[in-house]
Amino acid sequence: MTSIASNNLQTRVKSGLLCTASIKFAFGIRLAPSPWTVQLAKAAGFDALFIDLEHSVLSLTDTAQLCTTGILAGITPFVRVPYRCGDGFVQRVLDAGSMGMIFPHVKDKEDARNAVRMSKYPPAGTRSLTGQLPQFGSAPHHHEVVIQESNTVGSTVFVMMETADSIENAYEIAATEGVDVLLIGSNDLSIELGVPGQFGSEVYRSAVEKVAAASHASGKVFGFAGVYDNADVHDWVVNKLGARFVLGQQDSGFIAKGAKECMAAIKNIHE
């Protein structure tokens, strides 16, 4: 039995449960940093949180509250950090309770190695050790336990594949020791490839297929983000390409969609 909080991504991938299309994956948070948001995500059946610090004004305090609530609720918190945010910022996010780091715009194996290095304790990386971590229930544990369990369970490394260089270097990125998930960033990737928002284009689809193949070749998790409310695309990436981590939608998207549907219904009644 481990001392650290459970990691739903690792547990479910190992058991094969994420293969089924009926399972919802990650709930994105970039707007509403409330414990209630985490409870709503949990109640809806999501397994993970995608806390977005790249495209939001969320603070580290917001991040800590979301991560701690997620851990207590059994919905695993992962955090996307800003591009080239640096070792110190990654350190603080991990200390705040994140169970994994999502690095945007990874272009090559050197970027991938740096992502691993910042996320892991020595000898695998250069993360600095502190005590009373949320991942361990804020209880003290022996250094050896914290290092081993954090490195193996509590610091999943996501590298976002969203540039032309990342597609070209997909196989060497996937082969990088310590990288766990290759995550497609659909919007930036489609823009980089010259087909913005054209998720049915051959150029975009070929790039996604290459990342999926590279992931499977190295035994890594293939992940997908950036396309929402599109059953055809999700069926393709999950059932055809074997995606095991999918960002379902972000809180801002849920609110916008609900608001639009509400107004449409009201206008229909009024008319």
Distance, CA of 150 to CA of 95 (rounded, Å): 11
For tokens 């059932």, name the residue: 239
**Cβ count near 186 (within 10 Å):** 24
Distance, CA of 223 to CA of 263 (rounded, Å): 34
Q: What torsion do the CA atoms of 79, 197, 163, 48 make, to the nearest 10 degrees? A: 20
Start-to-end Cα distance in the chain? 61
- Cβ neighbors of 170 (< 8 A, separation 6 or more) are 161, 182, 210, 211, 213, 214
Q: If phi over 0 gives left and psi between -120 and 50 gives alpha, with beta otherwise, what is residue 36?
A: alpha
CB 162 within 8 Å of CB 192 = yes
Q: Annotate 64-75 with b (16+ C-beta within 10 A) or e (fewer).
A: bbbbbbbbebeb
How many residues does the structure list for the chain? 271
Distance, CA of 105 to CA of 92 (rounded, Å): 20
Is residue 55 annotated as part of the catalytic site, yes or no?
yes
Active site positions, annotated: 55
